[in-house]
C-alpha cells in the first residue's frame, strides 16, 4: 500500500510504502521507484535514543538512508524500539493509562516484543502459509481464517472469551465496516498481528495486574509464556490438518460462507453485527433434514465441544455461544465423516460408470500418460470447477466422473505391481540373493502403503463430495427455493389484499352515495303524499276539479230522471 506524493501517475516525492510482509519504507521516491533503499536489518538493532543521536542513526541505518525513514506519516519522529518496519499503533491501549505512564508502558512492551520478534515472525509466516500451495515472492499474507486457527491452537478462547468476542475487541474504535468484522478473507499484516496480540493480552490479563507496573508488559509476557510459546504451530482442527485435504476443502469454502451469512442473526452486543449461535447452526441442519440417526444432536454438541470447554460440561450444554466461520466450517468437515457412512462411499467407488452417469467417461477424460500426482491433483481440483461453475449435469454424473478418476488412480498401482513382480522374477532367476528379495519386499510395502494412502484420499474426497455437493448444497438450494416461493406467495397475497381493499373502498363509496340518495328520497315522497291526501279525503277543505268520469255519471243520472218525468 502506497500513500504519498504522485507525479504523472507515478510515485514521486515523499511517501510511505507498506510491503506485503508488513515492513514499511518511509522516504523519497523517484519515477515510481524507491530512491534510497533502507537497511532493514539495521532497524531491528536500533535503540530508543536513536532519533536523538544523528551519529548512531547514521551508523545503524546507513549513510544512504534519509532522515524521513525514521519518521511517521504525520511528521513526528518515531521512538519505536522495533524500528519503522514493525511500528505499532498502541494508541487504543495506551489511552487507558495516565499520560505520565504511557511512554514507559510503550517502551517496556516494545522491549518485550523485541525479545520475541524472531519467534513471532516465524509464527506469522507459518500460519499465513497454511492452505497456500505456492507464492511467487515466497511471502504470504495472513487472513482472518489463519488468525482464528492461531488463536484456537494457542487456547485464547479458554479465557472465557469467544473468537467472536475477540473480533469485537479488535474492531473497537477502528474504521472497520460491520460486515467485515467476522469476515474470514480479511488480510492481516505483521504489525496488525502484533497489535492484536497486545490488545488481547491486555483484555485477558489486565485485571490480574491491575495495581502493578508496567501492566501491558506483564500481560503480554504472561500470554507469551502460557499460551503462545507451548502451543503455537501445533495445528489442530479438521481444516489445516493435511495439505492435500486442505487444498481440496478450500473448494467449498466460498459456498459455505454464503450459507453461513444467510443463517446469521444480529448479535446482542454492539455493534450488532451478524453472527451465528450454536442453536442457529443446529436449527439450520434440522431445516436441511440432516439431523438423522448418524448425525444426532448429541454428536453435534460433541463435535463443537471438542475444542471448546465452555460448550458442554458433561451435564449441561450452552447453545448461546457464538461461532465464527472457522468453527462452522470445521464442524461441517467433521460432520461429513459422521453423516456419510463408509459403506456409501465404498459403494459409490465400486459403481460402474454406466450405472451412475449413463456415459462412459473413463480414460477418455484423462490423459493416460499423466503421472499419479497429476491424476490426484485433477481429482482434487475437478470438484472446484463443478461447485463454482454450477454445471447443469446431474450430481450423479459428476460423482461418476470423480469416481472414475479415483478408479484410475487405484488401477495404476496394480499395473506397477505386476511389472515389479515380473522384474523381481527375472532378477531372482539371475541372482537369487537375500538382499534383493529384502529390497523388493520393502518396495512392495512402500507401494502398498502408497496405495492405501491413495485409497483413503479417494474415499475422503468422495465422502466430502457426497456431503457438501449432494447433501448440504442441495438442501440449501431447496430451502432457498422454498423461501423464494413463500416470498412470491406473500407478495401475491399482499397484492390481492390491496386489490380487495381498493374494491372494498369502491363498494363503500357506492354504498355511501346510495345512502345519500336514499336519504334525499323520503323528503320527495312526503310532498307527494301531501298532494294526494285531499283527493281521497272528502272532508278536506280544498275542492279539487271533478274528473271526467264524474261528469259522465252525472249526465246519465239526468237522462234517467227526464225519462221518468216523461212516463
User: 206-213 — which CB contacts under 8 Å span 24+ positions?
Assistant: 213/101, 213/104, 213/105
Structure confidence by residue, pLDDT tens digits, 497-515:
999 999 998 998 989 888 8
Q: What is the mean pLDDT of residues 30-45?
A: 64
131 within 8 A of 246, measured Cβ to Cβ: yes
Of 136, 184, 200, 498, which Cα lies nearest the Cα of 325?
A: 184
Look at residue 355 and tell me whether its pLDDT is greater than 60. no
Q: What is the mean pLDDT of residues 113-123?
A: 92
Please state the φ and ψ torsions of residue 29, each to the nearest 5 degrees.
Answer: -125, 150
Whole-number mean pLDDT of the chain? Answer: 74
- Give residue 407's pLDDT band: very low, low, confident or very high (50, 70, 90): very low
Query: Which residue did the predictor score with more confidence, 359 or 493?
Result: 493
Cis geometry, peptide bond prior to residue 214 (ω within 30 degrees of 0): yes
DSSP codes, 302-324: HHHHTT-TTTB-SS-B-TT-EE-
**What whole-number percentage of the chain has pLDDT above 70?**
64
- Give residue 83's pLDDT band: very low, low, confident or very high (50, 70, 90): low
Q: What is the pLDDT of residue 475?
A: 93
Structure confidence by residue, pLDDT tens digits, 537-559:
444 445 455 554 444 445 555 55
Q: What is the pLDDT of residue 265?
A: 92
Please state the φ and ψ torsions of residue 244, each to the nearest 5 degrees.
Answer: -65, -45
DSSP SS3 for 39: coil
Query: Which residue did the predictor score with more confidence, 398 or 22?
Result: 22
Query: Which residue did the predictor score with more confidence, 303 or 369?
Result: 303
Q: What is the mean pLDDT of residues 99-115?
A: 89
How many Å apart are CA 107 and CA 109, to the nearest integer? 6
Structure confidence by residue, pLDDT tens digits, 458-509:
888 998 999 999 999 999 999 999 989 999 999 999 999 999 999 998 998 9
- Residue 443's DSSP bridge partners are none
Look at residue 39 and tell me whether its pLDDT is greater than 70. no
Q: What is the pLDDT of residue 444?
A: 76
Count Cβ neighbours within 10 Å for each residue of 41-72 and write b for 16 or more, e otherwise.
Answer: ebbeebeeebbeeeeebeebbeeebeeebbbe
Please state the φ and ψ torsions of residue 360, each to the nearest 5 degrees.
Answer: -90, 105
- Give residue 345's pLDDT band: very low, low, confident or very high (50, 70, 90): low
Backbone conformation region of residue 62, classed left if phi is above 0, alpha if psi is from -120 to 50, else beta: left
Q: What is the pLDDT of residue 545?
A: 53
Q: Is the dihedral of CA 353, 462, 410, 349 positive or negative?
A: negative
Look at residue 59 and tell me whether its pLDDT is greater than 80. no
Return the number of other C-beta atoms located less than 10 Å from residue 382's C-beta. Answer: 20
Look at residue 432 and tell me whether its pLDDT is greater than 60. no
Look at residue 412 and tell me whether its pLDDT is greater than 70. no
Find the range with the poorest average confidence among 211-220, 246-255, 411-420, 443-452: 411-420
Q: How far apart are the first and last CA of the chain?
A: 145
- Give residue 433's pLDDT band: very low, low, confident or very high (50, 70, 90): low
Q: Which of 42-56, 92-106, 483-497 has the highest average model confidence (pLDDT)?
A: 483-497
Please state the φ and ψ torsions of residue 312, each to the nearest 5 degrees.
Answer: -145, 130
Q: What is the pLDDT of residue 175?
A: 74
Q: What is the mean pLDDT of residues 441-457?
A: 80
DSSP codes, 319-376: TT-EE-HHHHHHHHHHHHHHHS-HHHHHHHHHS-HHHHTSS--HHHHS-TTS-HHHHH
Residue 39: partners with Cβ closer than 8 Å, 6 or more residues away:
60, 61, 62, 65
Structure confidence by residue, pLDDT tens digits, 7-18:
999 999 999 887
- Give residue 519's pLDDT band: very low, low, confident or very high (50, 70, 90): confident
Find the range with the poorest average confidence among 104-108, 175-179, 396-400, 433-437: 396-400
Q: Is the dihedral of CA 489, 490, 491, 497 positive or negative?
A: positive
Query: Which residue did the predictor score with more confidence, 168 or 405?
Result: 168
- Give residue 138's pLDDT band: very low, low, confident or very high (50, 70, 90): low
Of 186, 124, 115, 109, which Cα lies nearest the Cα of 154?
A: 124
- Give residue 400's pLDDT band: very low, low, confident or very high (50, 70, 90): very low
Structure confidence by residue, pLDDT tens digits, 269-294:
888 899 999 999 999 999 999 998 88
Q: Which of 33-42, 130-139, 183-192, 343-352 has the highest average model confidence (pLDDT)?
A: 183-192
Q: What is the mean pLDDT of residues 310-336?
A: 90
Q: What is the pLDDT of residue 441?
A: 74
Look at residue 366 and tell me whether its pLDDT is greater than 80. no
pTM over 0.75: no
239 within 8 A of 149, measured Cβ to Cβ: yes
Query: Which residue did the predictor score with more confidence, 105 or 377?
Result: 105
- Give residue 81's pLDDT band: very low, low, confident or very high (50, 70, 90): low
Q: What is the pLDDT of residue 556?
A: 52
- Give residue 137's pLDDT band: very low, low, confident or very high (50, 70, 90): low
Return the number of other C-beta atoms located less than 10 Å from residue 538's C-beta. Answer: 7
Amino acid at each position: 500500500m502506497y500513500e504519498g506524493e504522485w507525479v504523472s501517475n507515478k510515485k514521486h516525492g515523499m511517501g510511505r510504502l507498506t510491503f506485503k510482509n508488513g515492513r514499511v519504507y518511509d522516504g523519497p521516491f523517484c519515477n515510481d521507484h524507491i530512491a534510497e533503499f533502507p537497511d532493514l536489518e539495521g532497524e531491528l538493532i536500533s535503540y530508543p535514543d536513536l532519533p536523538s543521536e544523528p551519529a548512531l542513526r547514521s551508523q545503524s541505518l546507513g549513510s544512504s538512508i534519509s532522515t524521513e525513514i525514521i519518521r511517521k506519516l504525520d511528521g513526528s519522529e518515531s521512538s519505536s524500539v522495533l524500528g519503522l518496519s514493525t511500528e505499532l499503533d498502541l494508541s487504543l491501549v495506551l489511552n487507558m493509562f495516565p499520560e505520565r505512564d504511557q511512554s514507559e508502558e510503550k517502551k517496556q512492551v516494545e522491549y518485550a516484543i523485541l525479545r520475541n520478534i524472531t519467534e513471532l515472525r516465524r509464527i506469522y509466516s507459518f500460519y499465513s502459509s497454511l492452505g497456500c500451495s505456492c507464492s511467487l515472492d515466497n511471502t504470504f499474507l495472513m487472513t482472518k481464517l489463519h488468525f482464528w486457527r492461531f488463536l484456537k491452537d494457542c487456547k485464547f478462547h479458554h479465557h472465557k472469551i469467544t473468537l467472536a468476542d475477540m473480533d469485537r475487541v479488535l474492531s473497537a474504535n477502528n474504521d472497520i465496516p460491520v460486515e467485515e468484522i467476522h469476515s474470514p478473507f480479511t488480510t492481516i499484516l505483521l504489525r496488525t498481528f502484533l497489535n492484536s496480540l497486545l490488545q488481547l493480552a491486555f483484555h485477558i490479563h489486565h485485571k490480574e495486574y491491575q495495581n502493578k507496573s508496567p501492566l501491558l508488559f506483564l500481560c503480554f509476557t504472561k500470554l507469551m509464556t502460557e499460551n503462545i510459546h507451548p502451543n503455537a504451530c501445533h495445528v489442530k482442527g479438521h481444516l489445516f490438518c493435511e495439505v492435500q485435504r486442505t487444498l481440496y476443502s478450500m473448494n467449498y469454502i466460498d459456498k459455505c460462507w454464503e450459507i453461513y451469512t444467510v443463517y446469521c442473526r444480529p448479535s446482542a452486543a454492539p455493534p450488532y453485527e451478524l453472527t451465528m449461535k450454536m442453536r442457529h447452526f443446529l436449527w439450520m441442519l434440522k431445516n436441511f433434514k440432516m439431523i438423522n440417526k448418524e448425525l444426532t444432536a448429541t454428536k453435534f454438541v460433541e463435535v463443537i465441544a471438542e475444542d471448546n470447554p465452555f460448550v458442554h460440561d458433561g451435564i449441561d450444554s450452552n447453545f448461546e455461544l457464538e461461532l465464527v466461520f472457522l468453527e462452522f466450517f470445521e464442524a461441517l468437515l467433521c460432520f461429513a465423516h459422521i453423516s456419510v457412512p463408509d459403506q456409501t462411499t465404498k459403494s459409490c467407488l465400486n459403481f460402474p460408470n454406466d450405472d451412475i452417469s449413463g456415459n462412459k467417461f473413463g480414460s477418455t477424460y484423462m490423459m493416460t500418460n499423466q503421472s499419479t500426482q497429476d491424476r490426484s491433483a485433477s481429482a482434487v481440483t475437478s470438484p472446484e470447477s463443478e461447485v463454482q461453475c454450477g454445471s447443469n449435469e446431474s450430481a450423479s454424473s459428476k460423482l461418476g466422473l470423480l469416481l472414475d478418476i479415483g478408479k484410475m488412480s487405484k488401477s495404476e498401482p496394480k499395473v506397477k505391481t505386476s511389472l515389479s513382480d515380473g522384474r523381481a522374477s527375472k532378477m531372482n532367476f539371475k541372482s537369487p540373493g537375500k538382499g534383493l528379495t529384502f529390497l523388493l519386499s520393502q518396495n512392495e510395502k512402500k507401494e502398498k502403503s502408497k496405495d492405501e494412502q491413495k485409497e483413503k484420499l479417494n474415499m475422503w474426497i468422495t465422502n466430502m463430495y457426497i456431503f457438501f455437493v449432494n447433501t448440504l448444497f442441495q438442501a440449501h438450494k431447496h430451502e432457498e427455493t422454498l423461501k423464494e416461493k413463500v416470498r412470491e406467495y406473500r407478495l401475491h397475497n399482499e397484492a390481492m389484499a390491496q386489490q380487495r381493499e381498493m374494491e372494498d373502498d369502491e363498494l363503500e363509496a357506492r354504498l355511501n352515495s346510495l345512502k345519500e340518495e336514499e336519504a334525499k328520497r323520503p323528503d320527495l315522497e312526503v310532498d307527494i303524499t301531501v298532494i294526494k291526501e285531499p283527493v281521497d279525503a272528502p272532508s278536506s277543505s280544498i275542492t279539487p276539479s271533478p274528473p271526467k268520469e264524474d261528469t259522465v255519471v252525472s249526465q246519465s243520472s239526468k237522462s234517467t230522471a227526464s225519462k221518468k218525468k216523461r212516463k
